[in-house]
Amino acid sequence: MDVVEYIQANKAQFFADLKEWLAIPSISGDPAHHDDVRRSADWLAEYLRGQGFPTVEVWPTAGLPAVYAEWPAADPDAPSVLVYGHHDVQPVTPLEEWDTDPFTPVEQGDQLVARGTSDDKGQVFFHTLGLRANLAANGTDAPPVTIKLLVEGEEESGSVHFAELLTERRERLAADAVIISDTTMWSADVPSMCTGMRGLAEAEITLRGAEVDLHSGSFGGAVPNALHAMVELLGKLHDADGRVTVPGFYDDVVPLTDEERELFARLPFDEAGWLETAGNSRAAYGEAGFTTLERIWARPTAEINGLWGGHTGPGGKTIVPREAHAKLSFRLVAGQEPAKVRDAFVAWVEANAPAGVEVEVRTPGGGVRPCFSPIDSAGVAAARRAMEKAFGKEVLFTREGGSGPEADLADILEAPLVFVAVGLNDDRIHAPNEKVEMPLLLKGAEAAAYLWDELATALR
């Protein structure tokens, strides 16, 4: 029995089991549902035992529990692979916008509708079917790589205890690659894999002129105005080409390869439609020489998130404001270190702040390191072959602009990330009427079945 035959033979049971799990309202952001999150963990643990995992444990945290399962390879020298997903879900408000009950999964044509179908229970679940298909096709009772499955319970509430969990359990979680199944493909017709997520660094600037707001009639035009200083300073943060002017800002950036740019360019990107999703932004705008997709996926940014000073209430107030404040953040890409970017920015502010104002720059938080797996790295190439075999067509590449627990997985476990996911951007995750395309979940299972054989060779 080959992989596809096994999946076809078992898909009815697969969806029946998934529906049982989806019925548990494991909303980690709502304390009233924390017992449900625990129940979800227990249900999954029991299910994984039933699927044959030799080791299944529920791991408590200071918050909500994760589930860990391990199925060792027959060959003790085989590589280890960690699969990451989460079993908690987003809240379901506003409930009145749901056409059906969010925790009563219903099939509508090819779609399965319920909270968590795409993000992320459905995508965790295809791995169970995929692994069993792999075993069936290979006629063995142990996979070609040691599989470690880690299913978090706090992803939708900020993964607040996840780094701690990874650090504590680092030995047992050790792996040659981490498979992330919590993202999306470009579209049902255009299968793709994510290869990186931007990181983050943050800074706050305060400029101070006088000790008090001054009357602009008496003093205006003859003393520094903190807001003038701030607009003069931050007006220089980008050059005419939209490039960040902080010295060294781009030094460590891993450049896009010609192949990546060419593959990005083959994605059928509808810029007008994208601008609509961007709050009806009036125009694309950014660093010269890069496309919109390159800008949001592979180029670092310096963004003013907030700025304030002086009189911000109704009416006018003719003051020379004493202080100006700005909050900034930097999206970082492959190669950049948050600490280095912060230091460069602090130096830039100190070198460029206009005369006559006191300068204070703070850089709160440790930041988030970007994560990135080159398209020609062993894990990504292997997963691409598995995906292409399942989908029967070329698999393209994307990246993502933000990042969640992925950076912690890469940093703490020091393993390359490989994103294998079959969600779609129109799955309405975090929104009413979340759905998953059932045929895509089965393609995910198929890709996962092939993946372990590919990785057994590629990671050895």
Q: Which stretch binds its own copies (CB under 8 A): 92-100, 149-157, 165-173, 212-220?
A: 212-220
Q: Tell me the torsion sign for CA atoms 414, 423, 130, 267.
A: negative
Q: Which residue, 389 or 428, is less far from its own copies as judged by CB?
A: 428
Answer for the pair 416, 334: CB distance below 8 angstroms, yes or no. Answer: no
Q: Which residue, 163 or 347, is less far from Zn ion as judged by CB?
A: 163
Contacts of 93 by beta carbon, 8 Å cutoff, 6+ apart: none
- Residue in 230, 256, 407, 458 binding its own copies, rule: CB under 8 A: 230
Residue 184, token pair as written in the block: 């999306």
Please give the Cα distance from 196 to 214 (Å, whole number). 49
- Residue in 142, 223, 254, 375 binding its own copies, rule: CB under 8 A: 223
Q: Which residue, 30 or 337, is less far from Zn ion as judged by CB?
A: 30
User: In whole angstroms, how large is the CA radius of gyration of the chain?
Assistant: 25
Q: Which residue, 132 or 198, is less far from its own copies as judged by CB?
A: 198
Answer yes or no whether residue 369 interacts with its own copies by CB under 8 A. no
The closest of 83, 90, 84 to 28, measured between CA atoms, is: 90
What separation in angstroms does the CA of 305 have from each of 107, 308, 330? Answer: 42, 11, 10
Which residues within the stretch 389-418 sit at the binding site for its own copies (CB under 8 A)? 400-403
Q: Which residue, 314 or 392, is less far from its own copies as judged by CB?
A: 314
Answer for the pair 40, 21: CB distance below 8 angstroms, yes or no. Answer: yes
User: Could you give the count of Cα atoms lying within 13 Å of 411 in the half-sphere of its Cβ?
Assistant: 21
- Residue in 31, 50, 365, 366 binding its own copies, rule: CB under 8 A: 365
Phi, psi of 436 (to 5 degrees): -135, 150
Binding mask 258-277 for its own copies (x = CB under 8 A): -----------------x--
Q: Which stretch binds its own copies (CB under 8 A): 47-55, 68-76, 133-141, 350-358?
A: 350-358
What single letter denotes the amino acid at residue 45? A
Please give the Cα distance from 256 to 326 (Å, whole number). 31
Answer yes or no whether residue 400 interacts with Zn ion by CB under 5 A. no
Contacts of 205 by beta carbon, 8 Å cutoff, 6+ apart: 230, 233, 324, 325, 326, 328, 349, 359, 360, 361
Answer yes or no whether residue 427 interacts with its own copies by CB under 8 A. no
Which residues within the stretch 326-355 sit at the binding site for Zn ion (CB under 5 A)? none
- Residue in 88, 182, 323, 400 binding Zn ion, rule: CB under 5 A: 182
Answer yes or no whether residue 160 interacts with its own copies by CB under 8 A. no
Which residues within the stretch 117-176 sit at the binding site for Zn ion (CB under 5 A)? 119-120
Answer yes or no whether residue 239 interacts with its own copies by CB under 8 A. no
Please give the Cα distance from 258 to 272 (Å, whole number). 25
- Taken as a whole, the chain contains a residue count of 460
Closest approach of its own copies to the CB of residue 209, in Å: 6
What separation in angstroms does the CA of 340 have from each of 331, 363, 367? Answer: 13, 11, 11
For 355, counting Cβ atoms within 10 Å of its Cβ (0-12 exposed, 13-18 middle, 19+ buried), the class is exposed
Answer for the pair 87, 41: CB distance below 8 angstroms, yes or no. Answer: yes
Answer for the pair 372, 333: CB distance below 8 angstroms, yes or no. Answer: yes
Q: Which does 12 bind (CB under 5 to 8 A by kind): its own copies, Zn ion, none?
A: none
Residue 439, token pair as written in the block: 């045929």
Whether the bond into 120 is cis, omega within 30 of 0:
yes
Closest approach of its own copies to the CB of residue 193, in Å: 18
Q: Which residue, 184 or 225, is less far from Zn ion as judged by CB?
A: 184
Q: Which stretch binds Zn ion (CB under 5 A): 55-63, 115-123, 218-226, 239-247?
A: 115-123
Q: Which does 296 bind (CB under 5 to 8 A by kind): its own copies, Zn ion, none?
A: its own copies
Which residues within the stretch 177-206 sit at the binding site for its own copies (CB under 8 A)? 198, 200, 202
Residue 360, token pair as written in the block: 């204070």
Answer yes or no whether residue 32 interacts with its own copies by CB under 8 A. no
Closest approach of its own copies to the CB of residue 97, in Å: 18
Binding mask 309-348 for its own copies (x = CB under 8 A): xxxx--xxxxxxxx-xx-x-x-x-----------------
Answer yes or no whether residue 163 interacts with its own copies by CB under 8 A. no
Written as one string, the DSSP assignment of 54-79 is SEEEEE--SSS-EEEEEE--SSTTS-
Closest approach of Zn ion to the CB of residue 344, in Å: 33
For 27, counting Cβ atoms within 10 Å of its Cβ (0-12 exposed, 13-18 middle, 19+ buried), the class is buried
Judged by CB under 8 A, the number of residues near its own copies is 80
Answer yes or no whether residue 406 interacts with Zn ion by CB under 5 A. no
3-state class (DSSP) for residue 204: strand
Q: Which stretch binds Zn ion (CB under 5 A): 106-114, 116-124, 262-270, 326-334?
A: 116-124
Closest approach of its own copies to the CB of residue 127, in Å: 26
The residues binding Zn ion (CB under 5 A) are: 119-120, 182
